[in-house]
Each structure stands twice: as structure tokens, then as C-alpha cells.
């Protein structure tokens, strides 16, 4: 007989502790967006170097995401998540005293390595503790950290006397302190019990292949969407609007829109159709930017940030739920890591646009991204098991398919 994970029987403090760690990891990973203009002005680092440092974080992520989730499936979430969160904090402390090009690259690489361990295994841990709600809350906690990190560091860099040290110290110390506190938090069992689901249920485990088939196309538009307004558009604002605080505001607008979209999707029961809308909004944001270019007024940048932020939130939410509902529980950590690997490919978008801009413009790559996002929307709308092709006409009363309560 198989057993079912019952989140209500788990100490809620355990889930809260995991979410706090994910929030701190998101803060430490993304606050660097607000430090880009500070490092440019005070250390004369070029935009190419700074965008490269922003992107090298994704290189550090790959080993942790690819192997950390699978390792946590075998030995438990706790021994992977806590060291990962601590390493991410130490990476920011490394940049505290080493602001030159090599130090920034090294620090961002270390942050990525730690975040890769914490994010993939931590998201699976939250899903173990809370099911679909846990998976959604993990995305919300990360998104909130991603959003508030640049704002907090932007405020510190603007109003404190040591803008190159205090923001790095704040996030590093908070991350390491939370890990120490979390050492006493509740843990999920090392062996994840298998889940059962009604036959034919669209929300029961159906295999790794189907889980990847529908989750990975969502992953492609997660950080590709949000890095465009957060990094690229803020760097192309008029000089009077640039600065660490503008990056913080962009993060709050874009990522905050994503957080609200995730809550709305659950509150109003949008189901997997929300992923269709997320891909369509990603296509709209890329398409508009392809036509209008990268230089916008603050109001125009905010409008694009809202559209792409909602796209980010819906794609992240539905992709994670696809993994949680379709993947076998004993492979959930590994598949969550794979999902995030594809999501973090979007961190290469600022580097790509910086490289292509002087060599022919950004219209063509952004148009291709918009077209690809539309293809993903069609793929999901026509093939997702939670979106019956002819519902409700195909299903007589009393014989409705399982409705995924996402």
C-alpha cells in the first residue's frame, strides 16, 4: 500500500523555515542588480563586465541545480539546502571586500553555486511539506526575495555612507544567520514516501517524461522575462533615472507583479491555462520591446515590467506545479533542479542583447523569442492533460475530468 504525504500533519514551522531560507537565498542572489550601477560608477567596471558577472551566477547554479536536487532525493533535503544557503551568503561576503572584476566574478560564481543547491532542493522540500501549495509558496518566497533584494540594496546603496560594502554585508550576514537558526527547524524525512492518485487523474504522478514535456517550456520564460526589465531596460534609461534605486524599483514592479499573479492564479483557480497566458504575455513583452527598442521612459519601462513580471510569475508557478503533480515523488528534487536549469538560461539574455546590440540590433532576437513563446502557448493549450480539448462539451455532467486545483 502506498502512503500519501499529508501536509497538514507536518509542523508548519518546518515549511515556514524553508520558505524563509528560500526568501533569503532569492534576496542574496538578485540584490546584485542594484549593485551594478554602483560598481560601474565607483569601480569603473564596464556594462559588459557587469552583465557578465550577473550572468556567471547562472554558471555557478548549474552543478547545484543538476545534482543537488537528485542528491536531496537520496539523502534528504536538509543536508543539501542548509549548506547551499550558507555558501550563497558567503559568496556575498566575498564581494564585501573584493570589488574588482575578478572578485565580483568569483563572488557571483560562489553565490550561484550555493543558490543552486538551495533553490532546487528547497523547492522540492516545500512541496514535500505542503503539496501544491508548498510548491506555489516556494515560488512566491523566491520571487519575493528576488524582488525585495534589489530594493533593499538599492536603498542602502543610495542612503548609506558605504554603498559598496553595506549591501553585501547585509545580505551575507542575514543569509548565514538564517542558516544557523534553521539548524533547529523541522525536517522532512530523508525517504520521501510515494504518493497515490486516482486513476486517470491529471494531477497524479504520471512520469518524468510528461513532467518535463510540460514544465520545461514554461521554464524558458521565467527569468528570460524578468531579466529584460530588471537589467536591460534599467541600463537604457535616461541618465537622470539610472542608479541603484531604479533597479530596486524595477525589481519590485516586475517581480512583485509575478508574486501577485501567482497568488491570483491560486485564488481564482486558473489552473494550467495560467501557463498559456504566461507564455502569451512573455511573447507580448518581447514583441513590444522588439518594435520599440530598449530605451523607454520610466513609465514605458514600468508597463513592460508589469507585463513580463506577470509572465514570469505565471510560468514559474505552473512549471513548478507541473513538476510537483506529474513527477514521481522520489524524482521530484532532481526534476525541480532541471526545471530551474532551463529557467536560469534566461539570465543569459542581458549578455546576449549586450553582445548583439552593436552588431545589428535587438529586434531580431527579441522577435524570435516572442515567436517561440507563442509556440509554447499553443503547445500547452492543445496538449496539457489539465486542459481538455473540448471541455465541457466532451464531458457529460457527473463525468468531468479531474480539475487541477492550482
Question: Considering the domain boundaries, does residue 405 fall inside one?
Answer: no
pLDDT at 80: 93
d(CA 160, CA 137): 33
d(CA 372, CA 290): 14
Question: Considering the domain boundaries, does residue 8 fall inside one?
Answer: no
Of 79, 119, 370, the residue nearest 220 (C-alpha): 370
pLDDT at 205: 55
DSSP H stretches of helix in 160-272? 166-182, 208-219, 222-227, 234-235, 244-267
- Whether the CB-CB separation of 109 and 57 falls below 8 Å is answered with yes
Question: What string of DSSP letters covers 94-141?
Answer: HHHS--SHHHHHHHHHHHHHHHHHHHHHHHHHHHHHHHHHHHHHHHHH
Tell me how far the alpha carbon of residue 218 is from its chain's centroid: 11
Which residues form the domain of 293?
14-192+202-383
pLDDT at 278: 95
Q: Which residues of the chain have pLDDT under 50?
A: 1-11, 188-203, 390-405
pLDDT at 262: 86
Question: Considering the domain boundaries, does residue 168 fall inside one?
Answer: yes
pLDDT at 147: 84
Question: Considering the domain boundaries, does residue 358 fall inside one?
Answer: yes
Residues in the chain: 406
What's the pTM?
0.77
Of 211, 390, 226, the residue nearest 318 (C-alpha): 211
Of 86, 238, 303, 94, the residue nearest 175 (C-alpha): 86
Question: Considering the domain boundaries, does residue 53 fall inside one?
Answer: yes
Question: Considering the domain boundaries, does residue 6 fall inside one?
Answer: no
DSSP state of 239: G
CB atoms inside a 10 Å sphere around CB 169: 16
Q: Which three cell numbers stand for residue 173?
A: 550576514
- Whether the CB-CB separation of 120 and 340 falls below 8 Å is answered with yes
Q: What is the largest distance, in Å, between two alpha-carbon atoms of the chain?
A: 68
CATH number at residue 127: 1.20.1250.20
Question: Considering the domain boundaries, does residue 388 fall inside one?
Answer: no
d(CA 377, CA 369): 12
Of 57, 60, 54, the residue nearest 37 (C-alpha): 54
Cα–Cα distances in angstroms (integers) from residue 92 to residues 18, 212, 323, in the given order: 20, 33, 30
d(CA 5, CA 367): 44
Grid coordinates 525536517 are at which residue? Answer: 187
Angle, helix 273-292 to helix 298-326, in steps of 10 degrees = 150
pLDDT at 393: 37
Domain count of the chain?
1
pLDDT at 82: 92
Q: Measured at the alpha carbon of residue 322, what is the angle toward residues 386 and 381, in degrees to the nearest 5? A: 40
pLDDT at 392: 39
d(CA 40, CA 58): 21
Of 169, 167, 146, the residue nearest 222 (C-alpha): 146
Question: Considering the domain boundaries, does residue 400 fall inside one?
Answer: no
pLDDT at 376: 96
Q: Which three cell numbers stand for residue 185?
A: 527547524
The 10s digit of each residue's pLDDT in 281-331 is: 999 999 999 888 877 778 888 899 999 999 999 999 999 899 988 888 888
d(CA 201, CA 285): 34
Cα–Cα distances in angstroms (integers) from residue 39 to residues 107, 109, 163, 233, 288, in the given order: 14, 17, 9, 18, 30
Q: What are phi and psi for residue 236, nearest 5 degrees?
A: -105, 10
DSSP state of 187: -
CB atoms inside a 10 Å sphere around CB 32: 28
> How many Cα atoms sit within 13 Å of 225 on the Cβ side?
36
- Whether the CB-CB separation of 141 and 25 falls below 8 Å is answered with no
Amino acid at each position: 500500500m502506498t502512503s500519501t504525504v499529508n501536509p497538514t500533519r507536518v509542523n508548519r514551522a518546518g515549511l515556514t523555515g524553508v520558505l524563509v531560507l528560500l526568501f533569503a537565498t532569492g534576496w542574496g542572489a538578485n540584490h546584485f542588480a542594484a549593485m551594478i550601477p554602483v560598481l560601474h560608477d565607483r569601480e569603473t567596471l564596464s556594462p559588459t563586465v557587469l552583465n557578465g558577472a550577473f550572468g556567471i551566477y547562472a554558471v555557478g547554479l548549474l552543478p547545484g541545480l543538476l545534482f543537488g536536487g537528485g542528491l536531496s532525493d537520496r539523502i534528504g533535503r536538509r543536508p543539501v539546502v542548509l549548506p547551499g544557503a550558507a555558501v550563497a551568503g558567503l559568496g556575498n561576503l566575498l564581494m564585501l571586500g573584493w570589488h574588482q572584476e575578478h572578485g565580483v566574478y568569483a563572488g557571483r560564481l560562489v553565490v550561484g553555486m550555493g543558490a543552486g543547491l538551495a533553490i532546487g532542493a528547497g523547492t522540492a522540500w516545500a512541496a514535500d511539506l505542503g503539496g501544491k501549495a508548498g510548491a506555489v509558496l516556494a515560488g512566491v518566497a523566491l520571487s519575493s526575495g528576488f524582488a525585495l533584494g534589489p530594493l533593499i540594496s538599492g536603498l542602502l546603496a543610495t542612503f548609506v555612507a558605504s554603498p559598496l560594502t553595506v549591501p553585501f554585508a547585509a545580505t551575507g550576514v542575514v543569509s548565514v544567520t538564517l542558516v544557523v537558526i534553521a539548524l533547529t527547524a523541522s525536517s522532512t524525512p530523508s525517504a520521501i514516501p510515494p504518493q497515490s492518485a486516482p486513476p486517470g487523474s491529471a494531477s497524479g504522478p504520471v512520469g518524468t517524461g510528461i513532467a518535463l514535456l510540460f514544465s520545461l517550456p514554461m521554464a524558458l520564460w521565467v527569468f528570460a522575462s524578468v531579466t529584460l526589465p530588471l537589467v536591460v531596460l534599467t541600463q537604457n534609461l535616461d541618465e537622470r533615472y539610472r542608479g541603484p534605486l531604479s533597479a530596486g524599483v524595477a525589481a519590485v514592479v516586475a517581480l512583485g507583479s509575478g508574486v501577485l499573479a501567482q497568488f491570483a492564479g491560486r485564488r481564482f483557480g486558473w489552473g494550467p491555462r495560467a501557463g498559456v497566458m504566461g507564455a502569451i504575455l512573455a511573447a507580448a513583452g518581447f514583441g513590444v520591446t522588439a518594435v520599440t527598442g530598449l530605451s523607454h521612459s520610466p513609465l514605458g519601462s514600468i508597463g513592460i515590467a508589469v507585463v513580463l513580471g506577470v509572465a514570469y510569475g505565471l510560468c514559474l508557478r505552473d512549471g513548478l506545479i507541473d513538476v510537483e503533480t506529474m513527477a514521481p515523488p522520489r524524482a521530484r528534487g532532481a526534476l525541480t533542479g532541471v526545471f530551474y536549469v532551463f529557467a536560469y538560461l534566461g539570465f543569459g539574455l542581458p549578455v546576449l542583447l549586450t553582445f548583439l546590440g552593436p552588431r545589428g540590433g535587438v529586434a531580431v532576437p527579441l522577435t524570435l523569442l516572442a515567436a517561440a513563446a507563442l509556440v509554447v502557448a499553443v503547445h500547452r493549450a492543445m496538449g496539457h492533460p489539465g486542459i481538455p480539448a473540448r471541455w465541457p462539451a466532451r464531458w457529460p455532467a457527473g463525468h468531468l475530468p479531474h480539475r487541477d486545483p492550482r
